Amino acid sequence: MQQLVKPKQPGMARSMRPAWAEVRLDHLAHNIRRIRKRVGRDIRIMAVVKANAYGHGSVEVAKVLLEQGADRLAVALVDEGVELRRAGIEAPVLVLGMFGREEADVIVRYGLTPMVCTTEGLRDLQRVARKFHKTVRFHLRVDPGMGSVGIPMEECKRFLHEAGKYPDLFPEGLFTHLPSAYGGTREEVEEDLRHFNGMLAELTAAGLRPPLVHAASSPGILNFPASYFDMVRPGIMLYGLPVYEGCADPELKPVMRLKSRIVYQKDVRAGTKLGYGNRWHAERNLKLATVPIGYGDGLFLFFMEGGEVLIHGQKAPIFGQVYMDHFMIDVTEIAGTAVGDEVVLIGRQGESRITSAEVADRSGIGGMHCDCVHLLSSRIPRVYIGKLDESFRDGGLS
Ligand X SMILES: *Cc1c(COP(=O)(O)O)cnc(C)c1O
3-state secondary structure the chain: CCCCCCCCECCECCCCCCEEEEEEHHHHHHHHHHHHHHHCCCCEEEEECHHHHHCCCHHHHHHHHHHCCCCEEEECCHHHHHHHHHCCCCCCEEECCCCCHHHHHHHHHCCCEEEECCHHHHHHHHHHHHHHCCCEEEEEEEECCCCCCCEEHHHHHHHHHHHCCCCCEEEEEEEECCHHHCCCCHHHHHHHHHHHHHHHHHHHHCCCCCCEEEEECHHHHHHCHHHCCCEECCCHHHHCCCCECCECCCCCCCCEEEEEECCEEEEECCCCEECHHHCEECCCCEEEEEECCCHHHCHHHHHHCCCEEEECCEEEEEECCCCCCCEEEECCCCCCCCCCCEEEEEEEECCEEECHHHHHHHCCCCCCCCCCHHHCCCCCCEEEECCCCHHHHCCCCC
Q: Which of 37, 253, 266, 276 is catalytic?
A: 276
Q: Among the candidate windows 103-111, 232-240, 319-327, 352-360, which touches ligand X by CB under 6 A?
A: 232-240
Question: Residues 241-280 vs ligand X: string with x where CB under 6 A?
Answer: --x-------------------------------------
Considering the complex, state which of residue 137 and residue 139 has its C-beta at the smaller distance from ligand X: 139
- Of 330 and 371, nearer to ligand X (C-beta) is 371
Q: Is 235 in the site for ligand X (CB under 6 A)?
A: yes
Neighbours of 336 (CB within 10 A): 7
Under the criterion CB under 6 A, does residue 218 sit at the interface with ligand X?
yes
Nearest distance in Å: CB 235, ligand X: 2
Nearer to ligand X, 98 or 108 (CB): 98
Residues constituting the chain: 398
Query: Is residue 215 involved in binding ligand X (CB under 6 A)?
Result: no
- Which range touches ligand X (CB under 6 A), out of 9-17, 158-166, 229-237, 341-349? 229-237
Q: Which residue is nearest to ligand X (CB)?
A: 235
- Among the listed ranges 233-241, 244-252, 279-287, 355-363, the one in contact with ligand X (CB under 6 A) is 233-241
CB of 137 to ligand X, least distance (A): 17
State the nearest-atom distance from the C-beta of 169 to ligand X, in Å.
21
CB atoms within 10 A of CB 387: 9
**Closest approach of ligand X to the CB of residue 131, in Å:** 28
Tell me which of 45, 75, 96, 163 binds ligand X, using CB under 6 A. 96
Residue list 38-77, contact with ligand X (CB under 6 A): 48, 50
Q: At closest approach, how far in Å is the CB of 351 from ligand X?
A: 29
Answer for which of 236, 310, 380, 383 binds ligand X (CB under 6 A) is: 236
| Torsions phi, psi for 397 (to 5 deg) | -110, 15
Sign of CA dihedral 175, 177, 180, 186: positive
Span interacting with ligand X, options 231-239, 285-293, 346-354, 361-369, rule CB under 6 A: 231-239
Query: What's the closest the beta carbon of residue 35 comes to ligand X, in angstroms?
Result: 10
Using CB under 6 A, which of the segments 150-158, 228-236, 345-353, 357-365 binds ligand X?
Answer: 228-236
**In this complex, which beta carbon is closest to ligand X, that of residue 50 or of residue 362?**
50
276 is catalytic: yes
Kindly write out the interface string for residues 163-182 of this chain, putting x where it contacts ligand X by CB under 6 A and - elsewhere: --------------x-----
Give the residue, chosen from 68, 217, 337, 349, that forms a contact with ligand X under the rule CB under 6 A: 217
Of 121-129, 196-204, 236-244, 252-260: span binding ligand X (CB under 6 A): 236-244
Annotation says 50 is catalytic = yes
Q: Which of 24, 27, 139, 233 binds ligand X (CB under 6 A)?
A: 233
- Determine the size of the site formed for ligand X (CB under 6 A): 12
- Would you say 18 and 292 are in contact if contact means Cβ atoms under 8 Å apart? yes
The CA R_g of the chain, rounded to the nearest whole Å, is: 24
Binding site for ligand X (CB under 6 A): 48, 50, 96, 177, 217-218, 233-237, 243
Catalytic machinery residues: 50, 276
